[in-house]
Structure formats: structure tokens, C-alpha cells
């Protein structure tokens, strides 16, 4: 949480909207971006929490043991009565921008249903995130709908704390992913005038601080608050700021004509943002979305960060999340199989392969831990040595560092050109490459017991930097097929050989015992 400074607000003597441990908070949109990040923060603060979800079975595994998940849909008015019963304050974090058809009408109906149900249930106040933009202008459909939802919530007569924000900067947010994909994939960009529109992007951490602190201020202070980061920048400035963090210098060339419709189609091809979402974002970008009313700086202790710090934190959070991620879970939940060159997760390319072997996990993992050094890489060792030689010519570490003499590995150990980043005995080994690469690379092995067999999952992860990194990865598609498939088969064969070696003394002892009986 951000700390208040000497110019921050003084503590109010009025009762806060909610108190940890006693007040019941309802969170809608917990499966969305902001709601999903807000959920663990509220749990950490000690609030009694209830989440509304259309598909509770999907959300339940992601919440803490004390958080309640109930079925409901803001478009189904009767389903809201049970969800709102006993609630003190509710977060309304629902919007339909990603759905097809008229999202404005769905947003209108959802807000009307929710505010009426909240009023009937005796809810004390509502908290909502809308969009910046002056009501005096001809706003985009998206921004106009955001403002209208806030108006509908207030028509219930309940106190509403509405935060109007510009672009949200955080790993996984639509605006951040749009900027990142453009900079990473296009060293030269022909950009329309919308990239010059002024915005005041806010870091996700700052927005979460505002949302949580809204529970701690009195209901009498609930009103519209405009919130933004420390910098007023254009989207072109955001792209340059992202480039600075990644060592990239995008060449941005403005062009006079490129309609939002064409821009959205273009973004759909280049970035992970759906075309209909991209169009809504672009239509909003052409409007100035900066803070005109600084009341939030008086009412709250949050002191927002600038664009460079927000991007730095977004990348750092992603790195933390990545270090905790099991790619097997990510691949399974996405329902995606390995495609040409690998599957994308954010900027990273993930090539994951599996093989099942008739051996226990501990035997398979012993074989995995012996990788590297004099033991080799189980397949195509000459290719590994050639790649190491090329790396040394470029001033890199090459493949000559070897590995520890111990059969087991520890975090920090070197394994030829890799360093051990994570070890879970008999379960997982992750190696990070220290070669000179146009990006960052990891190699991970997981073993999972499946009855009398073990499934080996071998995953290569590459985080390319710019177009050079993209070309590097895809140029190695054919060698990777030989190396990665051969390595996986080699580990399985080594495990089978070890099983035979373990079984041989038992067979010999059995034969000796039979001879003695004769």
C-alpha cells in the first residue's frame, strides 16, 4: 500500500463505511482483471468477503477458505437477492465491453438490477470503477456507458463511491497488453492520431489502494473521484516508456488517416486484444482522459506513481507471478495444445511436451537432475556444444561451466549455460539460461505420478525482446523439434534403464535362491 505524506488527508472522526472482520463485503467481477486483483487484497485485509459469480465452480478454487462464493448474474434480478442479503458494502465491477451485441443495454440493465436489489437488501454503499472523460464532450460509446452506469447506481439513492480512471497499467490489463504487444512486435509503427491523445494512466496497485481505502472512509464522503497517475502522457509516450524498460526504441510514424474500425482490425492481428475491445479502447483514446478534479488526493492517502514506475511494477509483478506459475496448469486451463513454435502467454512463448514412462517419479526425477556436464543433455549433444561455441564467440558463458558433482541440484547451481532457479524434489526443476540471447529463456521439467507410471512434462519458455527475439525463436523451430523431442525421449529411456538396473540384483538373487534349493 502507498503511504500518505504530510500533505495527505487527516483521519476522519466519522465511522468508516466498513470494518475488517465484522462488515460483509460483496465483490462482483472477481473473475475479471481488476476484481481478480482486488480479491486477494481484500482477503489479506481481513474483510468478510462474498463473491458473486455466474460460474461459482470456476471461481471457488481461486478464493481463500473464508471467502464465500454464490451463484448470481446481474442480468438475472431474482438471483441477486440472496447474494446481497446481509451485505454492508458492495463492489460493482461488472461491464460487458468484451461481449457481442449492444453492451450498453446490458450494462444499463445490470446496473439497474443490482442497485435496486442492493437498496432492497439494505446495503449501505456501493463502490464502482468508471472512466475518465468530461460529460460536456461527445464521449465514445464505451466512456458514455461507463458514466451512465454510475448515474444508474446513484439513482437508487445509495451512496456511491465512483472512481473514474484512465488506462490501467498492470500485467494483464487490456491497455498494458495493447502497448506491450505493439512495442514488442513492431519496431516501426505507422500510427494514427489516436496515439497522441492525452491520458493519465494509473498503476493497478494505486487503483487497488483507492478501492480498498474506500471501505475506510465515511459513507458521507462517497462521490465521484477522478483518479490518475502522476504523469499525463499520450499512448505514444506509453509505448516509448515501455520500450525504455525493455531496451527497445520503437520508431513511431504518424499517418493522417486510420479509422477506429480499421485500427481495431489491425490491433486484432498484431495484439492479444480482441478487435471489438480494441475498437472501444481506441474510440476512448481520442478523448482527453486526464484528472481535472484533484479531490481524491485530499480524501485519500494514495499518492499515485508515474508511468515509468507503473510499467516497472507491471513487469515485476508478472515476473513474480511467472516464478510461481506451473505451465501445466496454464496449458490445461486454457485448453490449448502446443502449436507451431509454441503457445503464447503474454509475451512469452511456451513449448510444452509430455511423455509417460513406466517408472516411479523419484527414478525419473533422478535422471532429470543428472542433466548437463559430462552426462550431456540426453539428445543432440553436438547441437548443444555448437550453440555453446557460438555463444562464447559472442562473449557469453557457453556450455563449458559443467555442473556440480553431486547427483542432486540446488537453487543457484550452474548447469552448463543454465542456472538452477527452482527445485522441488521429485516434482519440478527449472533452469534459467544465461546465454547471450535476444530475450530470456527457461527450461522446466515436471514429473507427475499417474498410477504405476509417471508423466514427464518438459517445457521451454522464451520471453523474446522485440522483433529480433521473435525471429530468433521461430528460426530455431526445426532444431527445437529434434532437441526437445530427443531430450524427452532420452530422459524416459534413462529412467527405464535405471529400472532395469534396479531389478537386475533381485532377479539374480532369485536365481541364486532357486539354485540353492536344488
Residue-wise pLDDT tens digits, 410-446: 999 999 999 999 899 999 999 999 999 998 899 999 9
Q: Which residues pair with 256 in a beta bridge?
A: none
Element housing 233 (H / E) = strand 233-234
Give me the residues paired with residue 131 across strands: 165
Query: Residue 140: in which H helix or E strand, if any?
Result: none
Residue 472 half-sphere exposure toward CB, CA atoms < 13 A = 16
According to the model, what pLDDT value does residue 327 have? 45
pLDDT given for residue 104 in this prediction: 82
Could you tell me which CATH number the domain at 24-319 has?
3.40.50.720
On the CB side of 319, how many CA atoms lie within 13 Å of its CA? 11
Spatial contact of 174 and 235, defined as CB atoms under 8 Å apart: no
pTM: 0.68
Other beta carbons within 10 Å of 197: 17
Query: CB–CB of 406/390 below 8 Å?
Result: no
The C-alpha atoms of residue 118 and residue 70 are separated, in whole angstroms, by: 15
Architecture of domain 331-504: 2-Layer Sandwich (3.30)
Instruction: Tell me the average pLDDT of the chain.
Output: 83
In this predicted structure, what is the pLDDT of residue 221?
Answer: 96
Cα–Cα distances in Å, from 480 out to 212, 376, 384, 439, 490? 47, 16, 11, 17, 15
* Domain spans in the chain, listed from the N-terminal domain onward: 24-319, 331-504
**How far is the C-alpha of 30 from the C-alpha of 64, rounded, in Å?**
13
Helices (H), 221-270: 235-246, 260-270
Q: What is the pLDDT of residues 439-474, one digit of tens each?
A: 889 999 999 998 889 999 999 999 888 888 888 998
Lowest mean pLDDT: which of 17-26, 67-76, 88-97, 485-494? Answer: 88-97
Task: Check if 24-319 and 331-504 are the same fold.
Answer: no
Residue 222 DSSP SS3: coil
Burial environment of residue 188 by CB neighbours within 10 A (0 to 12, 13 to 18, 19 or more): exposed
Amino acid at each position: 500500500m502507498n503511504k500518505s505524506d504530510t500533505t495527505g488527508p487527516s483521519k476522519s472522526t466519522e465511522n468508516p463505511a466498513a470494518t475488517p472482520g465484522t462488515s460483509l463485503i460483496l465483490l462482483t467481477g472477481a473473475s475479471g482483471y481488476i476484481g481478480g486483483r482486488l480479491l486477494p487484497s481484500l482477503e489479506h485485509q481481513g474483510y468478510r468477503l462474498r463473491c458473486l459469480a455466474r460460474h461459482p465452480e470456476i471461481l471457488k478454487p481461486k478464493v481463500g477458505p473464508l471467502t464465500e462464493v454464490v451463484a448470481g448474474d446481474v442480468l438475472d434480478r431474482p438471483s441477486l437477492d440472496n447474494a446481497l442479503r446481509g451485505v454492508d458494502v458492495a463492489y460493482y465491477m461488472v461491464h460487458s465491453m468484451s461481449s457481442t451485441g449492444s453492451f450498453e443495454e446490458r450494462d444499463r440493465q445490470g446496473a439497474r438490477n443490482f442497485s435496486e436489489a442492493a437498496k432492497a437488501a439494505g446495503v449501505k454503499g456501493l463502490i464502482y470503477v468508471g472512466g475518465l472523460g468530461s460529460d460536456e464532450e461527445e464521449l465514445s460509446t464505451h466512456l458514455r456507458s461507463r458514466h451512465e452506469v454510475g448515474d444508474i447506481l446513484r439513482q437508487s439513492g445509495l451512496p456511491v463511491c465512483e472512481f473514474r480512471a484512465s488506462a490501467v497499467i498492470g500485467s494483464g490489463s487490456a491497455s498494458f497488453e495493447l502497448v506491450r504487444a505493439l512495442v514488442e512486435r513492431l519496431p516501426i509503427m505507422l500510427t494514427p492520431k489516436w496515439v497522441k491523445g492525452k491520458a493519465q494512466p494509473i498503476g493497478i496497485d494505486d487503483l487497488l489502494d483507492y478501492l480498498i481505502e474506500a471501505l475506510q472512509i465515511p459513507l458521507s464522503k462517497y462521490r465521484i473521484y477522478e483518479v490518475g497517475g502522476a504523469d499525463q502522457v499520450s499512448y505514444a509516450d506509453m509505448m516509448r516508456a515501455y520500450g525504455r524498460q525493455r531496451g527497445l526504441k520503437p520508431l513511431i510514424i504518424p499517418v493522417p488517416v486510420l479509422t477506429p474500425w480499421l485500427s481495431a482490425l489491425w490491433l486484432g492481428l498484431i495484439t492479444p486484444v480482441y478487435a471489438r475491445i480494441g475498437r472501444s479502447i481506441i474510440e476512448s483514446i481520442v478523448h482527453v482522459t486526464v484528472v481535472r478534479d484533484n479531490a481524491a488526493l485530499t480524501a485519500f492517502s494514495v499518492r499515485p506513481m508515474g508511468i515509468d514506475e507503473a510499467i516497472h511494477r507491471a513487469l515485476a509483478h508478472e515476473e513474480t507471478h511467472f516464478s510461481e506459475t506451473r505451465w501445466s496448469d496454464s496449458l490445461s486451463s486454457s485448453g490449448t495444445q502446443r502449436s507451431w513454435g509454441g503457445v503464447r502467454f503474454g509475451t512469452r512463448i511456451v513449448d510444452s511436451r509430455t511423455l509417460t514412462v513406466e517408472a516411479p517419479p523419484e527414478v525419473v526425477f533422478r535422471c532429470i537432475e543428472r542433466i548437463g556436464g559430462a552426462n550431456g543433455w540426453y539428445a543432440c549433444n553436438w547441437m548443444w556444444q555448437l550453440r555453446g561455441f557460438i555463444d562464447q564467440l559472442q562473449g557469453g558463458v557457453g556450455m563449458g561451466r559443467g555442473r556440480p558433482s553431486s547427483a542432486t541440484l540446488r537453487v543457484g547451481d550452474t548447469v552448463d549455460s543454465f542456472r538452477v532457479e527452482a527445485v522441488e524434489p521429485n516434482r519440478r526443476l527449472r533452469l534459467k539460461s544465461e546465454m547471450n540471447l535476444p530475450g530470456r529463456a527457461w527450461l522446466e521439467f515436471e514429473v507427475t505420478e499417474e498410477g504405476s507410471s509417471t508423466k514427464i512434462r518438459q517445457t521451454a519458455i522464451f520471453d523474446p525482446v522485440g522483433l529480433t527475439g521473435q525471429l530468433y525463436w521461430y528460426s530455431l523451430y526445426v532444431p527445437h523439434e529434434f532437441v526437445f523431442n530427443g531430450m524427452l525421449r532420452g530422459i524416459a529411456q534413462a529412467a527405464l534403464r535405471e529400472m532395469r538396473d534396479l531389478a537386475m540384483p533381485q532377479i539374480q538373487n532369485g536365481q541364486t535362491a532357486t539354485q540353492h534349493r536344488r
